[in-house]
Every structure is written in structure tokens, then in C-alpha cells.
Amino acid sequence: MTDAITSRAVGSRIRRGRVAVLVPLVAAVCGCATVPPWLHGRKPSAEREKYGATADQRMHDLSDQAKAAKGGSSTQQTEFTRDLARKVLDEHDPRVRCAIVKAVADFDTPAALSICRGALEDPDERVRVAACSAWRQRGGPEAVELLAARYNADREIDVRLRALRELGQLGDKDAIPVLSRALEDPDPAVQYRAVAALRQISGRDLGDDVNAWRAWAADPEGGPEWSIAEGVRSLF
């Protein structure tokens, strides 16, 4: 229940641009704001102290902090991702939101999970693309489900193509139904990406013939056994 509330909070903040109502929700999950241990002892430059950190500086800091937290204890990892769950609510630069999503992709904490879920609903397509990549990195049944849903729901071609690409990278046969439907898309780019994804999942190489892939996707378990030669060809 807690994870669901956090995910909705992040997604709602991103969609509506409101902070006041959502910060208490995140605070309830993330705990009281504290200064992360990796920031103690750092003295900002005079210019940064006066004007605040630039987007590039924030992304650089984020990269350093993620490395430090990843090598730390589970408590440090929890604190780090909780801190980012708060920050993503107030971050107006899509590039930084992308960096946040990338930073938490391989953290196994409730806050990281909520950020990755909420990022799929971000108004900026770059962040949704980053979220697709994050879910491929996280993997598992939920990744297949969410990437398939993003492909079906998104209006931006770049996001839809990335969702299909990451489904192929997952190599999960549960993705075959949505990839099969993508073969029927009128956009050749979508068809081509679906073929590439099916090739990765199946290990077969049926060329670029969409009809051949449609036939295979209709009965993945049927047909002749894969040959060793076919498996080797699929690697190149």
C-alpha cells in the first residue's frame, strides 16, 4: 500500500505540477528530511552558494552520490533513494529527472521503485524514455507489464520504440503478445523494432519478413526445432 501511494504521488506531481498536496504523501513514506551522509563536509563554491547549483552540477553530484550510496549499507541506499523521491517532485529540469531515474534504476528500495513507476507518466518524453531503460535494467514480470503498457499508451513514437526495444532486451517470452500486435502497426519503424525484439527473444533469425514473424508469433512453441547453426547466426 505504501509503495502504491508513493508511486501515485510521484506520477501525480509530474502530471499536475503541484507540490503542496504531494510532499506530505512522500514524506510519510520517505521519513523526515535529513542531510545525506555523503553531503557532510562539502563546502559549495561562492557562486554556487549564491545562485544555487546548475542542472549540470546537480547531475554531477547525483552521479557521485549514487556511486557512494551503492557501495554503502542498505540503510544508506534507503536514505539516498528517499531523498531522491522528494527531490524529483520539485525538479523542473527534465535532464535532471532523467538522471534521477537512471541513478535509482538498480536500487532495490521502495522509493526507487516508486520513482521508476512515476517516471513512466512524466510529461517529458525524454524522462519516459529513461524510465523505459530503467525498467529493462530492473527486469522481472512488472517490467514486461509496464513496458507493454507504455508502448500501448504513449503518443510519442520515440517512447513507443524504446519500450519495444527494451522488451526485446529483457528476453522474456511474456512480451511476445504485445510485440505480435506491434507487427500490425502501420508505422514501418514500429514493425522493424518489433521484429528486432522478437529476434532477440526467440533467438531465431527469420529475416525482416514481417509475415514470417507474424506466423512465428502466432505459435511460438510450434514449428521445427532450432538448429545450432540458426542459434549461432542469431548472435551476429
Q: Is the pLDDT of residue 91 over 50?
A: yes
Q: Is the pLDDT of residue 27 over 90?
A: no
Residues 35-62: tens digit of each pLDDT: 454 444 455 566 666 557 788 998 999 9
Q: What is the Cα 79 distance to its own chain's centre? A: 20
What's the CATH number of domain 139-236, 1.25.10.10, 3.40.50.11540, 1.20.120.140, 1.50.40.10?
A: 1.25.10.10
Instruction: List the domain boundaries for the chain.
Output: 1-39+54-138, 139-236
Q: d(Cα 11, Cα 89) in Å, to the nearest integer?
A: 9
Positions of E strands within the chain = none
Q: What is the Cα 109 distance to its own chain's centre? A: 15
- 73 pLDDT band (50/70/90 cuts)? very high
Residues 119-147: tens digit of each pLDDT: 999 999 999 999 999 999 999 999 999 99
Which of 47, 58, 134 minimizes the C-alpha distance to 91?
58
